Structure 1
Amino acid sequence: MNFIDTQQSFMDYIRDPSRPLPDGMTLERMTVYRELFFNNINGFVSGAFPVLKSLYTDEAWLKLIQQFFVSFDCKTPIFIEISQEFIAFLQTQYQTVDYDPPFMIELAHYEWLELYIATVFDNEKELSITAEMLTELPLSLSVKATVTQYHYDVQHISVNYQPTEPSEQPYSFCVYRDEADEVIFLQLNPLTAQVLGFICQSQACYLSDIIVWLQTSYPQMSAETLSNGCLQMLQQLAEKGIICTLADAQQNNSKHTVI
Structure 2
Amino acid sequence: MDKTLEQQLLCLAHYVRDPAGCAPPPGMEARRLAIYRRLFYGNIEAMLASGFPVLSASLGSADWHRLVQDFYAHYRCQTPLFTELASEFVLYLEQGAGDGLKLPQWLSELAHYERVESVLLLSNAQPAAVQPMTATLDTVLALSDLAWPLAYQWPVCDIGPGHLPKHPLPEPTLLLAQRKADHKVHFSRLAPLVYTLLVSVQHQQWTGRQHLAALADSMGVTLDAVLPQGQALLEQLVVQGVISG
TM-score band by shorter chain is 0.7 to 0.9
Task: Provide Cα deviations, 1:146-200, integer angstroms capped at 9, x if missing partner.
Answer: 1211122221122222221111111111111111111011210011000011111
Decide whether aligned partners of structure 1 residues 158 and 21 sit closer, same or farther in structure 2, where only a CA change above 3 A counts: closer
Identity among equivalent pairs (%):
26
Q: 2:168 aligns with which of 166, 169, 185?
A: 166
AA in 1 matched with 2:59? Y
Matches within 5 A, 1:1-259: 1-2=2-3, 4-18=6-20, 19-22=22-25, 26-92=29-95, 93-98=97-102, 100-122=103-125, 128-202=130-204, 204-220=205-221, 222-245=222-245
Deviates more, 1:184-193 or 1:126-135: 126-135
Distance of 2:104 and 2:123 partners within structure 1: 29
Contact preservation (8 Å) 1:127, 1:244:
no
**How much is the aligned-residue C-alpha RMSD, in angstroms?**
2.4
Secondary structure at 1:153 match in 2: coil
Decide whether aligned partners of structure 1 residues 46 and 150 sit closer, same or farther in structure 2, where only a CA change above 3 A counts: same
In the TM superposition, residue 60 of structure 1 has moved relative to its aligned partner by: 2.2
Decide whether aligned partners of structure 1 residues 137 and 23 sit closer, same or farther in structure 2, where only a CA change above 3 A counts: farther
Decide whether aligned partners of structure 1 residues 55 and 137 sit closer, same or farther in structure 2, where only a CA change above 3 A counts: same
Decide whether aligned partners of structure 1 residues 27 and 240 sit closer, same or farther in structure 2, where only a CA change above 3 A counts: farther
Contact preservation (8 Å) 2:134, 2:235:
no
Deviates more, 1:132-141 or 1:187-196: 132-141
Deviates more, 1:34-43 or 1:6-15: 6-15
Look up the match of 1:257: none
Contact preservation (8 Å) 2:197, 2:212:
no
Contact preservation (8 Å) 1:139, 1:206:
yes
Task: Provide Cα deviations, 1:100-150, integer angstroms capped at 9, x if missing partner.
Answer: 2232222222112111221122169x6645232523432111111212111
Distance of 1:96 and 1:158 partners within structure 2: 22
Contact preservation (8 Å) 1:139, 1:205:
yes
Distance of 1:238 and 1:7 partners within structure 2: 56
AA in 2 matched with 1:176? Q
User: Which stretches in structure 2 are left out of the alignment for 5+ residues?
Assistant: none
Decide whether aligned partners of structure 1 residues 59 and 238 sit closer, same or farther in structure 2, where only a CA change above 3 A counts: same
Deviates more, 1:86-95 or 1:5-14: 5-14
Distance of 2:30 and 2:151 partners within structure 1: 48
User: Which stretches in structure 1 are left out of the alignment for 5+ residues?
Assistant: 246-259
In the TM superposition, residue 82 of structure 1 has moved relative to its aligned partner by: 1.3
Distance of 2:44 and 2:181 partners within structure 1: 31
In the TM superposition, residue 33 of structure 1 has moved relative to its aligned partner by: 2.9
Secondary structure at 1:212 match in 2: helix
In the TM superposition, residue 24 of structure 1 has moved relative to its aligned partner by: 7.1
Distance of 1:244 and 1:4 partners within structure 2: 55
> Scaled by the length of structure 1, what TM-score is found?
0.83
Distance of 1:135 and 1:5 partners within structure 2: 65
AA in 1 matched with 2:58? L
Distance of 1:140 and 1:4 partners within structure 2: 51
In the TM superposition, residue 65 of structure 1 has moved relative to its aligned partner by: 0.9
